Each structure stands twice: as structure tokens, then as C-alpha cells.
């Protein structure tokens, strides 16, 4: 009996882990482009406040531009261009 209980516990734990991995790996049916469009379009901001929406959009765009500039600077420093 104790061996059966151990096996049942292992199976239950395995099923729980597999369900968690399946849940975390599911993208919710959205492609990467749709998620990026929603992110940069400030879909998560309060739609009733246009200042917040535009501020979020501008902030995220500036953040993206800074990351691109840093990446170019990094590559330039590696290859001796800058």
C-alpha cells in the first residue's frame, strides 16, 4: 500500500507540473506581432485617459529607441567603429 501511495503522489505531482508548464507556455493565441502591437499601442493603459495612453506610447517608443542605440553603440565598440 505505501508503494501505491507514493506512485499516486508522484503521478499527481507530475500532472500538476505538466499542467503548470502547459499554462505558462501558452501564448494565449496571440502572435508576437500582436503582443508587440498591444504593448507599444498602450493596450494596458487606461483608455479613458488619453494623456496616460499617449504618455505610455511615447515612453515605450523612447525606451525602444534607447535600446537600439545602445545595441548599435555596443556593436560599434566591439568592432572598433566608435
Joined grid coordinates for residue 58: 511615447
Report how far residue 82's alpha carbon sits from residue 80's, in angstroms, rounded to the nearest whole number. Answer: 6
**pLDDT of amino acid 29:** 62
Task: Tell me the per-residue pLDDT of 21-70, one tens digit each, with 9 for 90 and over.
Answer: 877 776 566 678 888 898 899 999 999 999 999 999 999 999 999 999 99
Joined grid coordinates for residue 20: 503548470
**pLDDT of amino acid 33:** 86
Report how far residue 66's alpha carbon sits from residue 32's, in angstroms, rounded to the nearest whole number. Answer: 21
Q: Are 6 and 23 in contact (CB under 8 A)?
A: no
Task: Tell me the per-residue pLDDT of 3-15, one tens digit each, with 9 for 90 and over.
Answer: 788 889 899 999 9
Report how far residue 2's alpha carbon sits from residue 8's, in angstroms, rounded to the nearest whole number. Answer: 10
Which of 57, 65, 8 has the alpha carbon at shortest distance from 37?
57
Amino acid at each position: 500500500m505505501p508503494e501505491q501511495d507514493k506512485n499516486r503522489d508522484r503521478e499527481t505531482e507530475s500532472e500538476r507540473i505538466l499542467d503548470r508548464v502547459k499554462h505558462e507556455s501558452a501564448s494565449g493565441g496571440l502572435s508576437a506581432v500582436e503582443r508587440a502591437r498591444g504593448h507599444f499601442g498602450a493596450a494596458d493603459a487606461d483608455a479613458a485617459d488619453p494623456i496616460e495612453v499617449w504618455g505610455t506610447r511615447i515612453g515605450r517608443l523612447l525606451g525602444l529607441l534607447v535600446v537600439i542605440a545602445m545595441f548599435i553603440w555596443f556593436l560599434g565598440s566591439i568592432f572598433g567603429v566608435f
